[in-house]
Amino acid sequence: MSQSIEVLNLRTERDYQYVQKMETQMKVVRVKFRQIEDDRKTLLTRHFQDLKEKMDELLPLIPVLEQYKTDAQLITQFKEEIRNLTGILTTIQQEIGAFDYEELHQRVLGLETRLRDCMKKLTCGKLMKITGPVTVKASGPRFGAWMTDPIASEKNNRVWYMDGFTSRTVREYKSMADFVTGAESRTYNLPYKWAGTSHLVYNGSLFFNKFQSNIVIKYSFATGRILNQRSLDNAGFNNVYPYTWGGHSDIDLMADEFGVWAVYATNQNAGNIVISQLRQDTLEVVKSWSTGYPKRSAGESFMICGTLYVTNSHLTGAKVFYSYSTKTSTYEYTDIPFHNQYFHISMLDYNSRDRALYAWNNGHQVLFNVTLFHIIKTDNDA
């Protein structure tokens, strides 16, 4: 490339010198022509015409000259940029040459380790904003659920699909791409019907509420058998304390960074929401919190970092209106809007691995992004 630049430069310089000579000749002719114009009455008409024709021949060279000047400047600028780039590449080559591949690889691994350590210092955050949605697929009736496993490995991207608020058929897809195209990989027929749309896949098992009961069932996809089942004491069921949209949504099973949770209401708590943390193996209640928010006035709810967030509706204009922290046992009213694109939400759950909300929006499977306010822990913090 440098040889081509030099050749082009020589040609341009040569042409430029030629045009400079022509420019000098033009100036001389122009002076003479002006003299002739001043005293043209004394000259023969034939001589005057000859000079004028020569002038007409030279005039088109003016833009050519200007173009050559511009080209010469561009060539000079281009050569300077090439020199600068060559210098930069030489510097980079010298820096890379100071390390062999293995040493570079170790430096990259060290950087990744430092990055992981930094990420570990990110404590759980407070929900600040919900954006989206992104429509993944349009499939099924108005009510349903779809989900991925929040603690599965990075290579495990299976999707589960459960349409309707009571059925036994669970469809599995190997990846999100297969889910979008409808390339179903497996179907499971549960031993009991489920109730509502608030199911959970966690660590390879399905957690669901048995239809017309307050029993929570843990079902293994690997063995096709029930691993455990347990009643939630005093929990309302069979549309006694559903969300605003009904659909047997009395008991909502969910997960966050701290494990498995159940959200429901009881007569003892005047129909207000109760939050219970469950042991994911035995389904025993570890601890419960009684809130003052009426379950039947909630559109949906989800857990993020031990805090329950409740929406005020399942219809257009819905927003996150209330939150309850299980860490401090305190609540607050919030105002976090989100776009209910298809006007009717019957499932809204947080996935801690994807940092996203999975939603069933009137026969559409959509995702919402969440923005969390994080507090950075330092080594001096307790």
pTM for the full predicted model: 0.69
Say if residue 85 is in the same domain as residue 129: no
Say if residue 257 is in the same domain as residue 144: yes
Segment 314-334 mean pLDDT: 97
> Using an 8 Å Cβ cutoff, are 207 and 254 in contact?
no
Say if residue 149 is in the same domain as residue 43: no
Cα–Cα distance between 51 and 326 in angstroms, integer? 101
> Using an 8 Å Cβ cutoff, are 320 and 127 in contact?
yes
SS3 assignment for the chain = CHHHHHHHHHHHHHHHHHHHHHHHHHHHHHHHHHHHHHCHHHCCHHHHHHHHHHHHHHCCHHHHHHHHHHHHHHHHHHHHHHHHHHHHHHHHHHHHHCCCHHHHHHHHHHHHHHHHHHHHCECCCEEEEEEEEEEEEECCCCCEEEECCCCCCCCCCCEEEEECCCCCEEEEECCHHHHHHCCCCEEEECCCCECCCCCEEECCEEEEEECCCCEEEEEECCCCCEEEEEECCCECCCCCCCCCCCCCCCCEEEEECCEEEEEEEECCCCCEEEEEEECCCCCCEEEEEEEEEEHHHCCCEEEECCEEEEECCCCCCCEEEEEEECCCCEEEEEEEECCCCCCCEEEEEEECCCCEEEEEECCEEEEEEEEEECCECCCCCC
Say if residue 86 is in the same domain as residue 143: no
Q: Decide if 51 is inside a domain.
A: yes
Cα–Cα distance between 122 and 127 in angstroms, integer? 14
Say if residue 138 is in the same domain as residue 246: yes
Say if residue 127 is in the same domain as residue 92: no
Q: Decide if 320 is inside a domain.
A: yes
Say if residue 144 is in the same domain as residue 91: no
Say if residue 151 is in the same domain as residue 84: no
Segment 196-213 mean pLDDT: 98
More confident call, 286 vs 27: 286
Percent of the chain whose pLDDT exceeds 90: 63
The confidence band for 4, taking pLDDT boundaries of 50, 70 and 90, is: very low
Asked if residue 7 has pLDDT above 50, the reply is no
Comparing CA positions, the residue from 71, 73, 68 lying closest to residue 18 is: 68
Q: 300: which residues sit within 8 A by CB, 6+ positions away?
A: 243, 252, 310, 311, 314, 345, 346, 347, 348
Q: Residue 261: its pLDDT value, please? A: 99
Asked if residue 237 has pLDDT above 70, the reply is yes
The confidence band for 3, taking pLDDT boundaries of 50, 70 and 90, is: very low
Q: Residue 194: its pLDDT value, please? A: 98
Asked if residue 243 has pLDDT above 90, the reply is yes
Q: Residue 124: its pLDDT value, please? A: 80
CATH number at residue 153: 2.40.128.630
The mean-pLDDT minimum among 78-92, 233-247, 334-348 falls in 78-92
**Alpha carbon distances (Å) from 65 to 9, 60, 102:** 16, 9, 58
More confident call, 110 vs 289: 289
More confident call, 24 vs 314: 314
Q: Decide if 109 is inside a domain.
A: no
- Work out how many domains the chain is built from and give that number: 2
Q: Residue 8: its pLDDT value, please? A: 45
Say if residue 77 is in the same domain as residue 215: no
Q: Decide if 285 is inside a domain.
A: yes
Cα–Cα distance between 51 and 278 in angstroms, integer? 106
The mean-pLDDT minimum among 127-136, 175-184, 255-264, 372-381 falls in 372-381
Asked if residue 53 has pLDDT above 60, the reply is yes
> Using an 8 Å Cβ cutoff, are 251 and 241 in contact?
no
Say if residue 31 is in the same domain as residue 160: no
Asked if residue 175 has pLDDT above 90, the reply is yes
Comparing CA positions, the residue from 374, 346, 328, 376 lying closest to residue 127 is: 374
Percent of the chain whose pLDDT exceeds 70: 66
- pLDDT digit string (tens) for 274-285? 999 999 999 999
Q: Residue 117: its pLDDT value, please? A: 56
Cα–Cα distance between 260 and 151 in angstroms, integer? 11
Asked if residue 140 has pLDDT above 50, the reply is yes
Q: Decide if 298 is inside a domain.
A: yes
Q: Residue 55: its pLDDT value, please? A: 60
Say if residue 189 is in the same domain as residue 307: yes
Cα–Cα distance between 210 and 205 in angstroms, integer? 15
> Residue 234 region, left (φ>0) first, then alpha (ψ -120 to 50), else beta?
left
**Domain residue limits at 46:** 2-97
Segment 66-91 mean pLDDT: 61
Q: Residue 155: its pLDDT value, please? A: 87
Q: Residue 177: its pLDDT value, please? A: 94
Q: Residue 264: its pLDDT value, please? A: 99
Say if residue 81 is in the same domain as residue 135: no
